[in-house]
Amino acid sequence: MPYCPIVGTLAYILSPDKRQVLLVHRNARDDDTHLGKYNGLGGKLESNEDIISGIKREIKEEAGIEVESISLRGTINWTGFGKNNEDWLGFIFLVDSFSGTPTKNNEEGDLEWVDINKMNELPMWEGDKHFLPLVFDDDQRLFHGYMPYDNEKPIGWSFVRT
């Protein structure tokens, strides 16, 4: 059976002092699969854009800021993800420079600056705790992970670095 994932982007935006990250607290819509969880910013790639254009568009839409410096940290193949058991191929970014002032909220929820070392204390997808250390570590190699989900829980995690 051919693999036909939803292609998505996910970015973690660093504060100017590099100690905090901008997250969205998904608390705005009762029908949101992510309701109550904290997450980076991003979303689905549109058919007429490349990955970088897609993540920059999502960040502008969700936070009102312009990306100045961005780096791809890795990719993740999430299979069976969420309530609809969808397959997603995600491109994970770190934004270390932007212009503008982030909005306080968007249609998905409140935007909050969170200390990087306190992220694991927040409600988030259980699987995020496996790959987030790879986003923020000093290893410049890309990570490429596979995280199958079942019943909204990760049932495995593996990755390679290149």
CA neighbours within 13 Å on the CB side: how many for 29?
Answer: 9
CATH number, domain containing residue 77: 3.90.79.10
Residue at 112 is within a domain = yes
* Residue 121 covered by a domain: yes
Q: What's the mean per-residue pLDDT of the chain?
A: 95
% of the chain residues with pLDDT over 70:
100
User: Does residue 123 surpass a pLDDT of 90?
Assistant: yes
pLDDT in tens, 29-78: 888 788 899 999 999 999 999 999 999 999 999 999 999 999 999 999 99
The single residue listed with the structure tokens 């496996």 is: 130
Residue at 54 is within a domain: yes
Q: Quick check: is 24 in a domain?
A: yes
Give the domain range for residue 37: 6-161
pLDDT value at position 152?
A: 87
Let me know if residue 31 belongs to a domain. Answer: yes
Domain count, the chain: 1
- The rounded distance, in Å, linking the Cα atoms of 45 and 5 is 11
- Model pLDDT, residue 147: 98
Q: Give the Cα separation of 131 and 62 in Å (integer).
A: 22
- pTM exceeds 0.85, yes or no: yes
Domain contains 1? no
Q: Which of 2, 5, 1 lies closest to 146 in space, CA to CA? A: 5
pLDDT higher than 90, residue 82? no
Q: Is residue 84 part of a domain?
A: yes
Look at residue 96 in the predicted model and tell me its pLDDT. 96
